[in-house]
Chain A
């Protein structure tokens, strides 16, 4: 995308407006991954912001060898997995504190209620998948990467991605039966 390459060059030269355009262009994709991985929570919003802060920090080293969207998706997945590990450690120590589940959220209730209901059901169903299966579903079926691109982002063989994808969809299909 030549326009994007231009924004990257301008942002590297310190143009804040170009960086703003990059954030605006990619925020939905990144937020979809992070919310899908962590649930629609305040910490998911923080992690999504962190993805762009990380990009801002490493702009000078960004050579454009990978597509920006691929780079951002990879960072989003990695930061989300780190956050899940942090949650796990935290819950080990603080099992007596109820912090609200991943479903407790910041859903956009201004949207069509029926669509919102399906969205909430989907969000809950995604949280029931193992993180590695969730990552595959989010990249392939939500963000629309091909199986090969998903495999590249997750640094997995294509066969592994395909089999995780099939198993994850079967589980989602069972959980969401009443909605389909």
Chain B
């Protein structure tokens, strides 16, 4: 009976078990209504991208999932549990790690303090040794000030510190923005490795060529909602449509 009831829910009806399931999500900055019914699924263990122009609502979507938007409505289910009404700290403790677009590195903390700041919320997080193996530069710079490092190193720190906590879903907001190609490649390799280790990742990107090397599925965001979606395998056949959406 329990199984039958579970099967009736939309999440269970999806082809793979969903890590994250967003539906009819609305969000506001003050009076300004910016998300108009966002809806998408993120299957467990997959990398999903939100593509779209500036101002489409991609960052706001991640902020809403993380609970840092004050005014939001609709449904955000993480591992089957409704989180729309939870405060940000409870959402983090449920097992979602957030790497914001501005990276959120603390200037008044050293690299090590930044790395160790997020509390471990669930077992199964990466050890310090594994993190240093992934990001050897960080080990060299542990005592420097968090914002004294290069942009690329700060980006790696911002990703590294959410790996310790045991989060299973990572929200990465434009991790390659403004970085040199060699750093972009390194971050790409890191994300592939994280995917191989079983992390589920929502990636916000403007650079769909970068996204195409990593993602399983793409959602195109426009005007605060998802207007199209395709599997990465179908990217080439949709390339003209995508160019039109992104205006590139």
A is bound by B: no
**A-to-B contact residues, CB < 8 Å:** none
